[in-house]
Structure formats: structure tokens, C-alpha cells
Structure 1
Amino acid sequence: MASHLDRDAVEWATEEERRARQKKYDQVARDYYDLTPPILEQGCMIAYEKLYAKMAGLKKGMRVLDLGCGVGGPARHVERGTAMTKKAGLDHPITFVKGDYMKLPFPDESFDAAYSIEALCYAPNPILAYREIVRVLKPGEPFTLHDFAMTEKFDESNPEHRKVRNWIELGNGMTKLPWVPTMRGALKEAGFELIREEDVFKMWMPFRNIVQNIYRLRYYLGLEPKESSSLFDMMWYCPKGCATGAAMGIFTPMYLFVCEKPAKK
């Protein structure tokens, strides 16, 4: 249970408070990933990554853009991600670049494919990010997106729905969780052709306490630093919100869109 955070304040956060967080979206996400990479790395699902690569149409020899690449994303972890890649013998074909989704530091039509896994949900305005991806992709090439999202059952006017949404946002360092219909419309408006979309995951309710309890035990055994206590409190919202939202049918952590930039006529 969260002990140091004002849970009521988070549950019933106002739109004004959420907008204030959105103005500093980059700092919110950076602070979150300064704390959580070891947890996220240890929970990596290799089998799903292989399946995802197949769905994304990734092939040897392609120049591929990974938007929000985990330990290579936030500034403090660029060196760490580079070191891990070198250790795996992949430092020649892989390069880490610090950037902003809304202002990608790459020339037009410079990539053969692009994908994002649980990353673009941190963008305060997804359509701007989608437009940038269209810009840097070559014509006729794929973009695959798997993200946290509020489903079509989410009702903004329902206070319980908003409460769960607020839990998930705080517990995952987000400023504005995307809504599936908005994502669909934004992808089309940005210029993508939608090939496939589906919810590929249903959250298992007992999961909500597993990760937190493992790391809380490590903390009490002295295997985690004292500063981790605040992380445990924040992460209470993550599994609690995700599991509750999934049980209500208003949230999914794995909504998939497979898109393509139209080929030039």
C-alpha cells in the first residue's frame, strides 16, 4: 500500500493539474525512467519481442528507428544503453540518439521501418509524433505501435474511470494516457494507412502486487537503496491502476497498430 503519497489527490486529479504535468512531459518521463530501468529490464519478454519484430516487418539490412528505446532513451541511460549494446556485440549496427518524438533529429525519408513499444504514450500530443514518423519513413514502409491506452469503453464523464486513469498515469510517469479512438484518428490524420489493430493483452489481476512485493522484499533485505521506498509508493499506482482498468475493460497495456506510409504514386 502507498504510504508516502497523497492517494486521494492522485485519484481525483483535476484537468488543470494534469495539463500542468503535460507542459513538462519530458521531465516527468525522464524522472520516471531514472528510477525504473532495472525493474523494466528484468521483466523483459524476449519471446514477445521476437513476435513483435515479425509483426513490424523487421528484416536484416533495414535501417530501423526504435522510438523510445528503453535504457537508451533518457539522458542518464544513453551511456548505459550503449555499453550494454557493445557488450552484446551489437554496437556496430546500433546507434543511440537522444531526441524528442515531436522533433525527430533525422532527415526526411531516411528509415526503412519504425516501431515503438510502450513509448509514444508519453507524448503529450501523439499526432505531432506520428507526423514526424511519417516524415522520416521512406514511402511504402511500415510503422508498428504497441502502447498503453484507454480503450473505447473509457468514459471521461465517469469519475471512477478518471480515477483509474490517474492511477495509471502517475504509476507510469505519464502525463496524458492516449485513448484508442484518438490514436486511430491521429494515425490516419498524420498520413498512415492502417493495416491491423488489436488489443493483444489482457491483464491478469494477481499481477498487480507481484512486482511491487518482490522489490519491497529486496528493500527490507537491504538489496535495494533506501531511496527505493518512494519508488515502491509510486509503483503502487502502476499495477493497481493497470489491473483495475483492465478488469473494467477501459484500459490495455498492449494496444497494437500496424501501419504503413503510403507509397508514392
Structure 2
Amino acid sequence: MSAIIIQAPIPDPARAGPMMTAKDRSSTSSTQSSNTLFDADAQLDHTAHKPWKHFGFRRQHLDQDSKISVEERSASDKRSKTFWKSFRYLSNLTPKQVDDYMASYAIYDLDWADEPAMIAALGTDYKQKVGDSLRAYYGVINHLCALGSVEKMYIPPLMNKRVSVLDNQLLYEESVARDLGLAPGDRVLDIGCGRGRVAAHMAKYTGAHITGINIDPNQLAQARAWNVQQGLSNTFVERDQNDLPLPFADASFDAFYQIQAFSLCQDLPAMFREVYRVLKPGARFSFLDWVRLPAYDETNPEHAALMRRVKPLIGAVGTPTPAGLEKALTDAGFQVTRSDNASIDGLQAPLIDKVDVYFRALRQFVLALVHLRVLPKHFKTLINRLCLDGQAFVQMDRMRLISTSYRILAVKPDVSTAAAPVSNETSR
């Protein structure tokens, strides 16, 4: 596994202690936690969590600036094994699986906000049709993503310019744990849990128990197998997030997070009300997702053309705005404590570009093998679709028309305590 170089002081093993208590965590506000994300020392000084034990952390003096060499710390280790496992799976797809996957992209030309268009394209049972399309889509795309550094199927916020996509994922996930104030034994809800890799990292990092929901049985089977392999006790439930109410009792969870899953949610106000219901009073809420930013003008032909190209790439049906999300959360009863773009300078483009360059290079390799008849012909179809319009995504991000790294933090008020001060940093 290749190492990455990060500027930071050498952690002192003598400082390593037990995991932070709930009291320790709750004393750090979400604003303080988020502000430290851009400090290299704070990013790597996870001695309280003993990262060298869980993630292969190794120390090495490199120069007088106290640089250290840090191995990739992903909960999903042995990347080559994951790559070849997904490669074999994709090689054995049936013609129907390939056809269903390609047909599933039709839903991304639609928008939840335009129900007449939904009905015209899919019929009155469009909700069921979207669910079927999502199963066909994610049953293949999760394996395509696993051929690269986006096995978790999300491009993270840019948290540190000097490190890989994988470590930016980990840095963001650890910031979520801090923002939520997670402690050992906490029950946490994760909607859109995918292959369970984020849940595994969150559980290892905090000692919390994660309950994940996902629509795709293929991903859930992988999540459960990985959970057992890692010695964790997380729970995974097969469920379409649009099938409300959620299958949990009132006040069941201590915290909630979702990462780029609500772009597929049909009714966000109803979803927020459900999340509010299943959270305990005082519980915190973390949201990272796709939004349409104020600079986007739907009457601008260039903007509209880019949007048509990017929505299928990132798998978005809805096009929410920050203001609309905040209002829906407030109407559901939440107190919004932070609303901003989690990426440095508000740009994901450097990470999007890394992923796009990698997959375009992989595409040339795959096409050559298809030409030589080493791989089945359907690989050409899959890789061409996957690599389509990556630069349109980069362009929209740089134009600040959209983002998939928009973060909102909120809390379900605890009537037994005084309300916390609101610190909105909203980008509108």
C-alpha cells in the first residue's frame, strides 16, 4: 500500500488514552470541531482513538519540518483484493443486468419536483419504477466504483489538499463523528449506508453502533460480510428510503448522518420529520449532499446543459437548494447549527479531477482488453457510461453552480435544557 505524506507533528504514544467520553465530546461545539478540520495537526492527532492500531498508522521522521508518513487508513483495506473481486463480478453480469443498469439512467433526466414529467415518463407508479431503477443502478455501480478509490460511492469534501481521496473521506467521516459527539455505545442511524464501509469506520473510530439502511441487497450483503470480517456489531436493513415511515420506534437513536443519499429522496420534508421522530431529544443530525447553488440559473442554456450531463453522473433525482433544506429541517422541528460547503474554499474540483483522471485511464485499459477479447463486450458499455461527463462535473463545481459537499448540521432540541446558540454560516 502506498504511503502519503502529510505535514503534522509526531503524535506522542504516551498521550494515547481511552476513547473520548460523551461528556468530552459534547463539550466541543460543531463549529469548533469543523473549524479544526483545516488544521493539519488536528487532522492527524487522533491519539485518543489509537489510529495506528485500527488503521495501520505508522510514524516516521522524514525531515526537520516534522513530516510523517501515514498509510492509507481506510476501513476497507487490501484494495487490490477489492478491485479484483469487483472486476470478476462485473465480468459475469448477465445481458439483462447490463441492460437494466443502462436503462436506470433514465430516472436522472427527471426531477422529483416535476411530478407530471415523472408520470409521463414512468407512469403513475413512478415511485416503484424509480426504486426498481435504483436497485439495478446500484447493483452495478457499487462494483464499478470499487475499481477505484470511491468504493464508498462518494467523492468527499476537500478536507486536506495534500492527501488522497480515501484519506479525505476518512477526515470527513471523523469530522462527522466529532460534530455528532459520538461516544461508545451510541446508537446511530445511517441512511444510504452502501457497502457499510463508512459505518465500519464510524464504529471503529467511536465505538458507536451503526444501523444502516439501503435499497440494494447486493450492497447490503457486502456490508454484512464486511461487518463480520471486521468484528463489528453494526446492523443493516434493506429498505427504500422513500418508503416511509422509517421502521424504527420513536426516540430510538442518539445521532443521525447521511452522505450523498438524500439526492434520491422524494419528499425531504417528510424524511426530516421521520428522522426527527426517531431521534432522541438533544440528538444531532449531520447532512452531506448535492445542492443547486444560487449561481445556477435554470434559464441559462449553458447551465441547463451542464445540469443534464452531471445529474446522471452523480446519481441525483432531486435538485435541492441550501435554503430549501434549511427550511425543511426547521419546519420539522430541528435547530440548524451550521450550513456551509465542507470543502476547502468550497471546491471539490481537485478531488473530482483525481477520480476522473483515474477512471479515464482505467477506461483505456479496459477498452484495450475488450478489443483483445480478454474482457466481455459489456465492459465497454459499462466503462464508457461511468466515465461520461466527469469534466462537466468539474466545470460546474468550479463555476460554483452545484456541489456534492454541502454540509448541514442540526440538533433536535432538548426541552429539558436551554437551547444552544445558533451559528449559521449559510452559503446562499
**Which range, TM-score by smaller chain?**
0.7 to 0.9
Q: In the superposition, relative to structure 1, how do residues 26 and 255 fare at CA in structure 2: closer, same or farther (>3 Å)?
A: same
Q: In the superposition, relative to structure 1, how do residues 211 and 243 fare at CA in structure 2: closer, same or farther (>3 Å)?
A: same
Q: Quick check: 1:12–1:163 contact (8 Å CA) kept in 2?
A: no
Give the distance between the partners of 1:225 and 1:185, measured in 2 at CA.
Answer: 49
1:227 alignment partner, one of 355, 378, 401: 378
1:26 alignment partner, one of 131, 137, 147: 131
Q: Tell me the amino acid that sits aligned with residue 400 of structure 2.
A: G
Unaligned ranges ≥5, structure 2: 1-101, 151-165, 197-213, 417-428
2:359 alignment partner, one of 203, 212, 217: 212
Match of 2:286 in 1: 144
Percent identity between the two aligned chains: 28
SS in 1 for 2:340: strand
Q: Quick check: 1:144–1:256 contact (8 Å CA) kept in 2?
A: yes
1:190 alignment partner, one of 332, 335, 349: 332
Unaligned ranges ≥5, structure 1: none
1:85 alignment partner, one of 227, 245, 256: 227
Give the distance between the partners of 1:231 and 1:38, measured in 2 at CA.
Answer: 11
1:98 alignment partner, one of 238, 241, 249: 238
Question: TM-score, structure 2 length as denominator?
Answer: 0.54
Q: Which moved more, 1:248-257 or 1:180-189?
A: 180-189
SS in 1 for 2:294: coil
Q: Tell me the amino acid that sits aligned with residue 399 of structure 2.
A: M
Q: Quick check: 1:32–1:172 contact (8 Å CA) kept in 2?
A: no
Q: Pairwise mapping of residues 68-83 of structure 1 onto structure 2 (< 5 A)?
A: 68-71=192-195, 73=214, 74-83=216-225
SS in 2 for 1:81: helix
SS in 1 for 2:185: coil
Q: In the superposition, relative to structure 1, how do residues 56 and 164 fare at CA in structure 2: closer, same or farther (>3 Å)?
A: farther
Q: Tell me the amino acid that sits aligned with residue 217 of structure 2.
A: A
How far has the Cα of 1:77 moved from its partner?
A: 1.8
Q: Quick check: 2:109–2:311 contact (8 Å CA) kept in 1?
A: no
Q: Quick check: 1:130–1:186 contact (8 Å CA) kept in 2?
A: yes
Alpha-carbon RMSD = 2.8
Q: Quick check: 2:139–2:218 contact (8 Å CA) kept in 1?
A: yes
Question: TM-score, structure 1 length as denominator?
Answer: 0.84
Match of 1:65 in 2: 189
Q: Quick check: 1:11–1:167 contact (8 Å CA) kept in 2?
A: no
Match of 2:71 in 1: none
Q: Tell me the amino acid that sits aligned with residue 203 of structure 1.
A: Q
Aligned length in residues: 256
Give the distance between the partners of 2:363 and 2:187, measured in 1 at CA.
Answer: 41
Q: Quick check: 1:142–1:261 contact (8 Å CA) kept in 2?
A: yes
Asked whether 1:112 is paired with 2:254, we answer yes
SS in 1 for 2:348: coil
